[in-house]
Structure 1
Amino acid sequence: MNKQLNELQKLLELEDEAEQLYYEIKVFSQHKVRWRQFILKQLPDYLERLEALHKKAKSYNTFYFLYVTKMSREELTGNYEEIIRLTTATDKALKQGKINEKRFDKRFNNYMSVYAHLQCRRAEKGLQLAEEYFKDFHYSSGNWFYYLEIYLLLAMHAAQYGQAYDLLQQARRNPYYRKQRPAAQQRWELYEAYIQLIQPEQSPLKMRHFAQLVQTVPDYSRDKQGYNVAILILQFLYFLRRRDIEGLLARLEGLRKYEQRHLRNPATLRSQLFFRMLLLTVKENFVSQACEQKAQPLLERLKVAPQPGEAYGEIEIIPYENLWLFTLDILRKLEAEQTAAEHASRSYVG
């Protein structure tokens, strides 16, 4: 018994060390962008040690801490293709009985798979998986809302805006909706604003609510991460569609300052490129054809630019490529309205 106890104590020591390493990584990963970037540089050493611990222990605990740390590394670096490979391999091992199914939470694996499909621009496939896995999340769980956000974003990326709106209403009907943190509720408001931007409802109440929401939507983080880019883009497009020059110029200055202060890192290339494309609309005096031609080189670079990892805290509620098509559509409609107004004016004078 003493011999067995000694072996178990050694195993416990290995598992405790693995757990400590995992929580060190987790603490840094959940804080500000610069902290995430710091831990990202340390991850190779952490992973090497976790691999060694699991090789010695061969226990579920050391497997789990190694598994989630690998997932964190790929998420922080934006290597979502590897996350899809990891989640697929883990799901296969689970079905083969190589992983303790009573201890392993397959919902996390499924969540990461769906999230990786979103970031890899495999929206249609991800949407299918999201529908399949959704039944495993109970509506009373906080994870239900996190999962539904990814589900909604996949619908937005697949241009299924009607489905996205239905998912939004499903979140609102959940009796636990108001128990979410204020920042989480504000994200749902932002999603609704984007849906309303793309497919506006013409009721006066909805239009007034949308206008108030766009102009008062708050910053989500003092660290300027995550949703602030999405907010600036939303506000710019709102004022562009209204052809509110005063409001547009104010947002234009905001775009310039934000790019100078927060979008210098190569990992934020997609946001940098799209900001420049939006600035072109003002520079080219809102002429759609000129904007389309001048922005073409930027658009080609945007199409091949990689998605930023979580270490850089960016998210695209609607892919920038789709938003650019929407922007050009706004410009064409404004030109058509101006032409019609000029024609009507000439007819009246005549």
Structure 2
Amino acid sequence: MALEDEAGQIYWSSKMAQAHTVRARRALLNDLPGYLAQLQQLHEKARSYTTFNYLYLIQLTLLEFTGNYEEIIKITTATEKLWAKGKINRRRFDSRFNNYMTAYAYLHNKQAAIGLKLSEDYLKDFHPSSGNWFFFMENYVLLALHAGQYSQAQQLLEMAHKNPYFRKQRAAARQRWDLYKAYIYFLQPENSPLTLRHFNQFVQTVPDYSRDKQGYNVAILILQYLNFLRRQDVENLLARLESLRKYEQRHLRESATLRSQLFFRLLVLTVKENFDPEACEKKGRPLLHRLHEAPQPGEAYAEIEIIPYEALWGITLDILRANLTENKAAEQTRRARVA
């Protein structure tokens, strides 16, 4: 019991640090290897389920923070097999958490299609009245978006909103759902329950996550930028471009934020190349190649790609092409009227 108590103190110390700002989470990243070594020693002495579970959770936390999602998949898959064989206490081990982490790792390891298929089976283990159901559904929606299954993402979003317990979530969780809804509207406005007016209002008054810099700032700035680009609202577009530059200078200076840095530079190209889709595509190829090669950042850096940046760049080029076609048609109509 003394060994288990010591293991619990180590685990909960790390857990408390995870609840704070990104700066605190990055500091925790330096401490996690030491915590892991201590828990390994305690488990070797105690050989109890409790010490095993604390060790297991810290292992996943360290891998999650460092972005080693492939190793998470290996560990959760192996643990699931041990659980199925009865090698792990079936009454005490939370297989739902193991399943959640498996799907989460597939999402961030760029294997969204596999995670999406697994999630269809995993969902039945979560009761709709629990907070865990909503956490799992967020991951499920993101898997659908990353797999390019936008209609399915819309259906999952509607399922979550129809859940009678939806309003009981914390305000921050409901704001995340609003952000997912806005992205889905942006991708498929014809299938969304949002109206254009409501979407524009939301984008302009989107919740400000800037206080703790945890994850959603980049997603918000990108959505606002693309919305103004589609509307050809040059004044607001240039203002948002300046916001992107300032945010990159202040908060995206570390190597782990490389993917966001590269995508911001791709967006800057749209203005530099005077919104010419062909020039943007050509000049953007080296950046896009680097983006393909850049690893996903660990959870310690907490930047969320609601849509993979590679896909978003394709959407950006499509917007530029549509705008160009629209402008040419408008110019032809104007000349015809003058003639």
Q: Name the TM-score class by shorter chain.
A: over 0.9
| Structure 2: distance between partners of 1:221 and 1:332 | 33
SS at 1:102's partner residue? coil
Unpaired stretches in structure 1, ≥5 consecutive residues: 1-11
Note the C-alpha offset of 1:210.
0.6
Matches within 5 A, 1:233-248: 233-248=222-237
Report the RMSD for the aligned CA atoms in angstroms.
Answer: 1.2
Tell me which residue corresponds to 1:192: 181
Residues 1:242 and 1:94: Cα distance change in structure 2 (over 3 Å): same
Query: Any idea what the Cα deviations from partners look like across 1:214-235, whole Å, max 9, x if unmatched?
Result: 1100112412221010000000
Matched AA of 1:345:
R
- What residue is the counterpart of 2:305 in the other structure? 316
Q: CA deviation at 1:200?
A: 1.2
Contact 2:21 2:213 in 1 (8 A): no
For residues 110 and 191 of structure 2, the distance between their equivalents in structure 1, rounded to whole angstroms, comes to 31
Q: Which residue among 302, 316, 321 is the counterpart of 2:291? A: 302
Aligned to 2:164: 175
Whether contact under 8 Å (2:129, 2:165) holds in the other structure is: yes
Conserved in 1, the CA contact under 8 Å of 2:108 and 2:296?
yes
Residue ranges of structure 2 left out of the alignment (5+ in a row)? none
TM-score (ref. length: structure 1): 0.95
Counterpart of 1:8? none
Q: 1:276 aligns with which of 246, 261, 265?
A: 265
Distance across 1 between alignment mates of 2:132 and 2:285? 40
Task: Name the CA distance, whole Å, in 2 between partners of 1:93 and 1:205.
Answer: 46
Instruction: Decide whether the 8 Å contact of 1:201 with 1:207 is kept in 2.
Output: no
Larger radius of gyration: 1
SS in 2 for 1:312: coil
What amino acid maps onto 1:239 in structure 2? F
Match of 1:335 among 320, 324, 328: 324
Q: What displacement does 1:349 show?
A: 2.1
Q: Is the 8 A contact 2:185 2:194 kept in 1?
A: no
2:108 maps to which residue?
119
Q: 1:130 aligns with which of 110, 114, 119?
A: 119
CA distance in 2, matches of 1:346, 1:249: 29
Equivalents in 1 of 2:172, 2:7: separation in Å?
32
Is the aligned partner of 1:98 residue 2:87? Answer: yes
Cα deviations across residues 274-313 of structure 1 (Å, max 9, x unaligned)?
0000011011110001111111100000001011111011
For residue 20 of structure 2, the aligned residue among 12, 31, 43 is 31
Mapped partners of 1:213, 1:253: distance in 2? 20
Question: 2:139 maps to what in 1?
Answer: 150
Identity %: 64
**1:47 pairs with one of 36, 60, 65:** 36
- Distance (whole Å) between structure 1 residues aligned to residue 210 and residue 181 of structure 2: 20
Report if the CA contact (8 A) 1:83-1:113 is conserved.
yes
Matched position secondary structure for 2:189: coil
Contact 1:263/1:272, CA 8 A, preserved across alignment: yes
How many residues are aligned here?
A: 339
